[in-house]
Amino acid sequence: MRPVRLAGSAADDVEAQLEPDRLELFRRFDLAPALDLLATDGVWESDTKPHGPGRRLTLEGVTVAGFHLFALPDDLDPRDEALVVFAIDIWSDEFPD
């Protein structure tokens, strides 16, 4: 498994996009499993798409309709293949096509 870190900017994105009563549910049932998935061998290479300076992982949600994680190699982490999620976009009720 590769190390994955959530940047403060991504945590701020979550707080800005969700009502307070949905924050903890999203963190537990959507975000934590998504970070675990991103840490899984092969996911970075096969399930993400190039986007801006990094790559995007698009997922259907449990507590939201869907969301994007934007990640790139983590220059602050000395471990091999470490990633940092730097932004998150969330669709609360309807995920666009």
CATH number of the domain encompassing residue 20: 3.30.2310
pLDDT at 61 over 70: yes
Q: Looking at the chain, which runs of residues are DSSP E strands?
A: 4-6, 49-51, 54-60, 66-73, 83-91
Residue 40 inside a domain? The answer is yes
Residue 53 inside a domain? The answer is yes
pLDDT at 96 over 90: no
Residue 42 inside a domain? The answer is yes
The predicted structure's pLDDT at residue 94: 87
Under 8 Å between Cβ of 76 and 84: yes
Residue 97 inside a domain? The answer is no
pTM attached to this predicted model? 0.94
CA 86 to chain centre: 8
The predicted structure's pLDDT at residue 91: 96
Residue 96 inside a domain? The answer is no
Number of domains in the chain: 1
10-59 tens-digit pLDDT: 999 999 999 999 999 999 999 999 999 999 999 999 999 999 999 999 99
The type of residue at 76 is: L
Residue 29 inside a domain? The answer is yes
Banded pLDDT at 97 (limits 50, 70, 90): low
Pick from 73, 6, 66: which is nearest to 45 by CA?
Answer: 73
What is the domain extent for residue 46? Answer: 4-91
Banded pLDDT at 95 (limits 50, 70, 90): confident
pLDDT at 73 over 70: yes
Q: Which residues contact 21 (CB under 8 A, 6 or more apart)?
A: none
Residue 13 inside a domain? The answer is yes
